[in-house]
Amino acid sequence: MSGMTTQTNIDSSHFINDSLHLALELVNDLLVQINEIDLLTNHNNHFSNMNLTKISLNLTQFVELTTLTSKLISIKKNIILDEVKKSHIHLLFILKGINQSQLKGDTIVLEDLIKYELKDNLTQWKINIIPKIKKSINP
């Protein structure tokens, strides 16, 4: 192995580990935001929409980061992460439901999707998926 290849592998490993650390921080931030959201008792639609927008933006960053990281792991480490794809698909269904319930003004369904479905998915990332990825790339 040449020095250049070794350096590239070291750099990609650091990047992957840093990306996973950032993904975990985003999950933690999102879980805090979800715990703080209360759509049913909040009659200020502007404030609710701001909170939902913040969650949506952070969730978008999380999905983009984890997608790129899993692609890099697949290319550099030759490890296929099926649970990442499955979790992303589930997240897309949750986001679709959130969007539909928000458009309909159905705050009960909206809050249930956020506080239960989305929170459960992100919790799985925190306690299962990210640690499993770390373990598979750093045996």
Sequence spans of domains, the chain: 3-137
CA dihedral 135, 68, 82, 20 (to 10 degrees): 30
Residue ranges of alpha helices (H) inside 78-117 are 82-104, 107-112
Q: Model's pTM, two decimal places?
A: 0.84
Q: What are the tens digits of pLDDT across the range 21-68?
A: 999 999 999 999 998 887 655 556 666 778 888 898 999 999 999 999
Q: Tell me, what's the pLDDT at 1?
A: 46
- Rounded CA gap, 25 and 30, in Å? 9
